[in-house]
Structure 1
């Protein structure tokens, strides 16, 4: 799959591609996933109000390895992802309907079907692109894995549970209360 092929698709059809291989064409996320994404978007969006950095929730195509100074995408591009949530601090990377270049901060909210892709394939792509901070949120286990870029490697910095407070390293003084993301479960 190349960008040239992708732009011929209907706008409602979306996929993620790494090295020309489609890695995800998932159906709409479940409500729990959407709630976590919305709550995190509210927290980060409120913090960023009036600042240079901007946050975006899926769906938005991110062309990790593209030069943000170019006005077009090479039609042979074979890598793009649709992260659940991103923060971009370089306004030049923000284009009309896409992001060109690596975001500063990426969040993926995993499901059983996406766990391997998010923990391995996407993490390595984000690492190669130079993403500074990467969170994997696991709703089923109510944990957040925080990876930070050290040199050329996204290293696991810490794992947080429900009730913990997580500092967003790339956004000075922003801390997320995990109870906002993981409400208390009640028996059914």
Structure 2
């Protein structure tokens, strides 16, 4: 007896997913996972901030990039939502008008979590390579590790693994290094400014 054909997920299926979950269509399968935990979100915001001033606005760096947090990318039949993505301005000269983007980024960063690590290290990494995306960072906040990959002849090559206490100087953003520990503010004691006025006693 012939097996029933597996139904392919549609964009309508993706749109029907509740807003508190992230939805993607990978190899025709609807994949959903919860919104990230605070550590994940803080690391994404901190990394975006580190890159935005020098590489997007050209303040203290070369500029020439556009960054988007959680863009919806349509890479052929694949619909994926990376945590961060960056395009060189010459490849995205105008603001996208649609809710999704079909131009593959030049750089992607996935922030690993228990609910996403299978896809981030597996099929999504392959999809990014198939789309010709030049650079991929995998940030694991739980382990305190950042891996930087470059696409060479269609294969991902690990350039470096950054650990806590080290400096991030990974292509394509190695022109302006920054301390890796800056992505984890709650692991450091609160900043105490000796010049700040003392709070009144109660």
TM superposition score category, shorter chain reference: 0.7 to 0.9
TM-score by length of 1: 0.81
Match of 1:173 among 172, 175, 189: 175
Alignment of 1:64-75 (within 5 A): 64-65=75-76
| Residue pair 1:93, 1:99 contacting (<8 A) in 2 also | no
CA distance in 1, matches of 2:169, 2:100: 27
Determine which structure has more spread, i.e. the larger CA radius of gyration: 2
Asked if 1:27 corresponds to 2:34, the answer is yes
> Hey, what does 2:25 align to over in structure 1?
17
> Hey, what does 1:152 align to over in structure 2?
154
CA distance in 1, matches of 2:14, 2:186: 41
**Which stretch of structure 1 is more off in the superposition, 164-173 or 114-123?**
164-173
Superposed CA RMSD: 2.3
| CA displacement at 1:3 relative to structure 2 | 3.1
**Which stretch of structure 1 is more off in the superposition, 142-151 or 177-186?**
177-186
Q: Deviations over 1:5-49 (max 9, x none)?
A: 545x378364111111123x1222111001100000111111111
> Hey, what does 2:110 align to over in structure 1?
108
Q: The residue matched to 1:15 in structure 2 has which SS? A: strand
| Unpaired segments ≥5 residues, structure 2 | 1-8, 189-202
| Residue pair 2:110, 2:137 contacting (<8 A) in 1 also | yes
CA distance in 1, matches of 2:152, 2:116: 25
Q: How many residues align?
A: 171
Question: CA 1:93–1:136 in structure 2 vs 1: closer, same or farther (change >3 Å)?
Answer: farther
> Hey, what does 1:79 align to over in structure 2?
78
TM-score by length of 2: 0.76
| Residue pair 1:55, 1:85 contacting (<8 A) in 2 also | yes
Alignment of 1:112-123 (within 5 A): 112-123=114-125
| Unpaired segments ≥5 residues, structure 1 | 66-77
| Residue pair 1:168, 1:174 contacting (<8 A) in 2 also | no
